[in-house]
Amino acid sequence: MHDFRFKKGKLYCEDVSIEALAEKVGTPLYVYSHNTLRRHFLAYQKAFAKVPHLIAFAMKANANLAILRLFAKEGGGIDIVSEGELHRALAAGVDPKKMVFAGVGKTRKEMQAALRAGILMFNVESAQELTALDEVAKSLGTKAPVALRVNPDINPKTHPYISTGLKKSKFGIEITRAVEQYQLASRLSNIEVVGIHSHIGSQLTQIKPFVDALKRIGKLIEELRGRGMEIKYWDIGGGLGITYDAEKPPLPKELAAAILPLLKESGCTIILEPGRSLVGNAGALITRVIYTKEGETKNFVIVDAGMNDLIRPSLYEAYHEIVPVVKKKRRNATVDVVGPICESGDFLAQERTLPQVAPEELLAVLSAGAYSFSMASNYNARPRSAEVLVHGDKYATIRERESMDDLIRGERIPEFLDFGQS
């Protein structure tokens, strides 16, 4: 459920006209609904209220400071995967004791920064990482709180690029090796074993893979405790999907109904890492039509947003609903909606049936709150777009549009390339 709705034939985010926003702020433009973001977060809080828990937003989905602050104000934490994300989360005012650090390639420098910040725990993904973390913690005279990310070898039935729970995945430690890795962790003098972690993938539309994975992890928790290890935190990951097209993913309350008995039995504090399901349907990318172009075999709508703004359709062949911002009576046409990037793979939709549009009209690319701006780039030397957060009938620009000077900030031409020098 989201707050992008038509009123008298014009698209609004909450009580703010998208057409008016585009005129004031320009396009391409990302627009987010405060009400939708907060409602989605509170849906998780309510669903898991019967167990001690922490909702740690997977900020790789959308790392804007305002959105991080919004979730922190509601009591949320953050799932980080880099020192940069740690820095952003701290800048947004997130309590470090509500941060978990995941990822297969943490550097020693990143480990130092996280230990100095005092994060809740590291989700460790390999024996070498465990040893490195022990050495870094020793150098700082402290202990590193650790959960091992265990790969339960469950098929999440999602896109292969966002499937993380199979044996062939780069993520986690195989469940068959988990006990020996936990034994290694317990022998390291500067490691404190505090939990266990698993995450099988993203855009999950079925509950069964989640349940199957947690059953396997639950048995492992029992075995680890039987060997004298204290497991206080059970990080069950995230991954619930959203509706882009015809999907019907489970709601947080439906997931909770299926897994709460398992979680209660563990006696652990539960950590959840939702990302897409919090922010995905809370955002839209607004783009303006530049040209329309008719070909012998294809018709094109050329817009000012490209794959540098929203790469998901090009990268994953992902579907995003696209609608004209102003409804009119008009014929439909089958078109490719493409951007200005010099790549054949630059498209927002292919073979899509849409109402016929003309240059200067606005289109809204819906369900663009997750893995959209956070994956944006400056490819083709294009400034990244502005971001706006709408709250009722007001809005705030939460990221300024990049300028041409921003595109060359930090770059230097060395003296030996001065004209007249060879």
123 with 148, same domain: the answer is yes
Question: What is the predicted pLDDT for the residue at 302?
Answer: 98
Question: What is the predicted pLDDT for the residue at 205?
Answer: 85
172 with 321, same domain: the answer is no
Mean pLDDT over the full length of the chain: 93
- Asked which of 257, 278, 299 is the last residue of a domain, the reply is 278
Question: What is the predicted pLDDT for the residue at 169?
Answer: 65
pLDDT in tens, 109-160: 999 999 999 999 999 999 999 999 999 999 999 999 999 999 887 755 544 4
252 with 293, same domain: the answer is no
Question: What is the predicted pLDDT for the residue at 1?
Answer: 65
Does any domain span residue 97? yes
371 is in an annotated binding site: yes
- Asked which of 222, 257, 278 is the last residue of a domain, the reply is 278
Q: Give, in order, the Cα–Cα distances in Å from 110 to each of 60, 68, 116, 132, 170.
A: 16, 20, 10, 11, 20
274 is in an annotated binding site: yes
| Helices 208-226 and 252-266, packing angle to 10 deg | 10
User: Which of 246, 331, 342, 422 is labelled catalytic?
Assistant: 342
Query: What residues are paired with 323 via a beta bridge?
Result: 364
22 with 123, same domain: the answer is no
DSSP state of 67: H
Question: What's the CATH code of the domain at 325?
Answer: 2.40.37.10
pLDDT in tens, 325-379: 999 999 999 999 999 999 999 999 999 999 999 999 999 999 999 999 999 999 9
Q: Is 211 buried (19+), middle (13-18) or exposed (0-12) by CB count in 10 A?
A: middle
105 is in an annotated binding site: no
Question: What is the predicted pLDDT for the residue at 354?
Answer: 96
Does any domain span residue 165? yes
Nearest to 12 by CA among 22, 1, 24: 22
233 is in an annotated binding site: no
DSSP state of 326: B
196 with 298, same domain: the answer is no
Q: Is the dihedral of CA 326, 332, 334, 335 positive or negative?
A: negative
81 with 10, same domain: the answer is no
276 is in an annotated binding site: yes
Question: What's the CATH code of the domain at 76?
Answer: 3.20.20.10
Does any domain span residue 271? yes
239 is in an annotated binding site: yes
243 with 317, same domain: the answer is no
Does any domain span residue 43? yes
Q: Is 365 buried (19+), middle (13-18) or exposed (0-12) by CB count in 10 A?
A: buried
Please list, in sequence order, all residues whose beta carbon lies within 8 angstroms of the beta carbon of residue 194, skipping any fewer than 6 positions away.
Answer: 121, 145, 146, 147, 230, 231, 232, 233
361 is in an annotated binding site: no
| C-alpha to C-alpha distance for 369 and 280, rounded to whole angstroms | 4
Does any domain span residue 418? no
Does any domain span residue 91? yes
273 is in an annotated binding site: yes
252 with 299, same domain: the answer is no
- Asked which of 243, 278, 313 is the last residue of a domain, the reply is 278
Is-catalytic flag, 268? no
Tell the residue number behind the tokens 């995230």, with chain if given: 238
337 with 259, same domain: the answer is no
- 364 neighbors 322 (Cβ within 8 angstroms): yes
Q: Estimate to the nearest angstrom the gap between the alpha carbon of 217 and the chain centroid.
A: 24
Question: What is the predicted pLDDT for the residue at 167?
Answer: 53
- 29 neighbors 385 (Cβ within 8 angstroms): yes
Neighbours of 344 (CB within 10 A): 8
Question: What is the predicted pLDDT for the residue at 247?
Answer: 86
Half-sphere exposure of 97 (CA within 13 A, CB side): 1
Q: Structurally, how many domains does the chain consist of?
A: 2
316 is in an annotated binding site: yes
- 122 neighbors 96 (Cβ within 8 angstroms): no
Q: How many residues does the chain have?
A: 422
Does any domain span residue 421? no
String of DSSP letters for 329-373: ---EEEEEEE-SSSSTT-EEEEEEEEE---TT-EEEE-S-SSSSG
45 with 87, same domain: the answer is yes
314 with 244, same domain: the answer is no
Does any domain span residue 51? yes
Question: What is the predicted pLDDT for the residue at 155?
Answer: 57
The one-letter amino acid code at 208 reads: K
Nearest to 369 by CA among 310, 290, 300, 305: 310
Question: What is the predicted pLDDT for the residue at 366?
Answer: 98
Residues in the chain where the model's pLDDT stays below 50: 158-166
- 227 neighbors 272 (Cβ within 8 angstroms): no
23 with 70, same domain: the answer is no
The domain of 336 spans: 4-31+280-408
Q: What are the backbone angles phi and psi of residue 277, rounded to the nearest 5°? A: -70, -15
Q: Is 340 buried (19+), middle (13-18) or exposed (0-12) by CB count in 10 A?
A: middle
